[in-house]
Amino acid sequence: MEFGWSSEEEAHRQGVRDLLAATLPPDWEALAVHGPGSDFQTDYSRTFCPLLAEKGLLVPNWPAKYGGQDAPVWRQFILGEEMWAANEPRGAQYMNVNWIGPALMRFGTADQLERYLPPIREGRAIWCQGFSEPSAGSDLAALRTTATPVEGGYRVSGAKIWTSYAGKADTCFLLARVPASENGPAGKSAIVILLTDMSSPGIQVKQIPALIGEGDIHEVFFDDVFVPAENRLGEEGQAWEIITYALQNERTGIARYEFSRRMLDRGVARLKAEGRWADPVVQERAARALMLCEAARMLVYRVVDAKAHDLPADAFPSVARWAVVQADNGVNDFLTEFLPDGLIGADPVQLAHHQRAIAAGVASGAAEIQLNLIARRWLELPGEPKR
Ligand SMILES: Cc1cc2nc3c(=O)[nH]c(=O)nc-3n(C[C@H](O)[C@H](O)[C@H](O)COP(=O)(O)OP(=O)(O)OC[C@H]3O[C@@H](n4cnc5c(N)ncnc54)[C@H](O)[C@@H]3O)c2cc1C
């Protein structure tokens, strides 16, 4: 395998770096205390993403007929790496370009494409993802929010939890269940995806105070909310196929190891400045953390390469997701061991990284579930004996 970048790819990366350097506020590094999911970053994305769109850098890999440039998948990925190295200034909108837009393109109606794609590709749309519920997280298929069919649409009732961006979102990519009926669909087949206007009467959003930053996660309550039938994505019974497709895109779209790598470089710079770098134990531990970042990078590259070559599904998206979480945690462990004062006031950005590293293995689905997938689906290891 050739790991080098082509001259076009190098130029593209440099172009993104130059744009970031010219655009982000001078104190952006310190502003990394606000995570990508924070209110601050969501608001910032409203000015930053239209600028990216104007420069042709928001959705380059989207098909030209949907406003993209038919660019290779690597181009979008390089963009993602540079965004993550800069603490993801796209905020909530990374999700729109990576998986909500592509899911709409594959499964949406002409009317949905016309309504939802322009605001995404112009950098104006904020979406939230209404999947998790108090008793349905890893076991997503157990979700209980109901979508009762009525004339012209559905009436939705229930509660979602841990919903990022809900306080600012215009639209929710909402999963709900058509109530059981005799001979009706059941289990996963009863789930529908409703593209729900967050200003609909009956929706209440409540912020959850959280370790990872202000405005990051929410509870969302639905009390008899009407959603028109034309807002259903795909057919009834097709939701699971759509979710699987969408989440595959989400999990390979995040180059979080770049932010961890930057935090590691920052920590090493501080240790050097304080005359503590000569200690071989410090160097060995830094090398381990670096190795985890680079292993994550290579494994993610493998996934992107498979996508670029349209190869069949394999275990590597799960392996890569696990590796990215290990990189976050490895850097966090190193910084916590050798620069513990960063967590009690000396470096607020280190504290923010520490808090996000704790959440990293849970957000976007618990990382342990990836180990189950690798074991059961790909290694075909036996599961728990049925009792
Ligand atoms: C920062 C953050 C942002 C989030 N944003 C969103 C969002 O925007 N939208 C949304 O819908 N959700 C969101 N979530 C929720 C997230 O998707 C869930 O927290 C995640 O799916 C885990 O579900 P749970 O919290 O119910 O934990 P559980 O599923 O109860 O899991 C708890 C623990 O048990 C382990 N576990 C559970 N089942 C198994 C199993 N079968 N085998 C092995 N281990 C298992 C898990 O690995 C985990 O460690 C977010 C979460 C966080 C932390």
Query: Under DSSP, is residue 48 helix (H, G, I), strand (E, B) or coil?
Result: helix
pLDDT band per the 50, 70, 90 thresholds, residue 4: confident
Amino acid, single-letter form, for residue 89: P
User: Which pLDDT score is estimated for 42?
Assistant: 92
Q: Mind listing the pLDDT tens digit for each residue in 188-209?
A: 999 999 999 999 999 999 999 8
Q: What is the rounded distance in angstroms from the CA atom of residue 247 to the CA atom of residue 231?
A: 20
Report the range of poorest mean pLDDT among 224-228, 251-255, 285-289: 251-255
**Is residue 87 pLDDT above 80, yes or no?**
yes
Over residues 230-240, mean pLDDT = 95
User: Which pLDDT score is estimated for 180?
Assistant: 83
**Is residue 224 pLDDT above 90, yes or no?**
yes
Over residues 287-316, mean pLDDT = 93
pLDDT band per the 50, 70, 90 thresholds, residue 181: confident
Residue with more model confidence, 250 or 149:
149
Domain ranges of the chain: 7-126, 129-236, 256-378
* Closest-CA residue to 286 (of 301, 266, 300): 266
* Closest-CA residue to 121 (of 65, 170, 194): 65
Atom of ligand 1 lying closest to residue 135 CA: 26
Under CATH, what is the fold of the domain 7-126?
Answer: Butyryl-Coa Dehydrogenase, subunit A; domain 1 (1.10.540)
Which is it for strands 127-130 and 171-177: parallel, antiparallel or unpaired? parallel
**Is residue 34 pLDDT above 90, yes or no?**
no
Q: What is the rounded distance in angstroms from the CA atom of residue 168 to the CA atom of residue 37?
A: 11
State whether the beta carbon of 164 lies less than 6 angstroms from ligand 1: yes
* Backbone phi and psi for residue 49, each to the nearest 5 degrees, phi listed first: -65, -40
User: Which pLDDT score is estimated for 1?
Assistant: 59
State whether the beta carbon of 163 lies less than 6 angstroms from ligand 1: yes
Over residues 101-121, mean pLDDT = 97
Instruction: Report CA 161 to chain centroid distance, whole Å.
Output: 16
State whether the beta carbon of 212 lies less than 6 angstroms from ligand 1: yes
**Is residue 106 pLDDT above 90, yes or no?**
yes
pLDDT band per the 50, 70, 90 thresholds, residue 280: very high
State whether the beta carbon of 38 lies less than 6 angstroms from ligand 1: no
Residue among 173, 362, 370, 377 whose CB has most ligand 1 atoms within 8 A, to mutate = 362
On average, the pLDDT of the chain sits at 93
Over residues 113-117, mean pLDDT = 98
Alpha helices in the chain (DSSP H): 7-23, 28-31, 39-54, 73-85, 93-95, 101-107, 110-121, 239-252, 257-273, 280-308, 316-338, 348-360, 367-373
User: Which pLDDT score is estimated for 387?
Assistant: 61
Kindly state the tokens that stand for 366.
């618990």
pLDDT band per the 50, 70, 90 thresholds, residue 291: very high
Q: Mind listing the pLDDT tens digit for each residue in 43-81?
A: 999 999 999 999 999 999 899 999 999 999 899 899 999
Under CATH, what is the fold of the domain 256-378?
Answer: Butyryl-CoA Dehydrogenase, subunit A; domain 3 (1.20.140)
| CATH number belonging to domain 129-236 | 2.40.110.10
**Is residue 253 pLDDT above 80, yes or no?**
no
Q: Mind listing the pLDDT tens digit for each residue in 302-361?
A: 999 998 899 998 999 999 999 999 999 999 999 999 999 999 999 999 999 999 899 888
Tally of CB atoms within 10 A around 91: 28
Q: How far is the CA of 137 from the centre of ligand 1 (A)?
A: 5
DSSP secondary structure letters along 323-369: HHHHHHHHHHHHHHHH-GGGGGTT-HHHHHHHHHHHHHTTTTS-HHH
**Is residue 22 pLDDT above 70, yes or no?**
yes
Instruction: Check if the beta carbon of residue 376 is closer than 8 Å to that of residue 383.
Output: yes
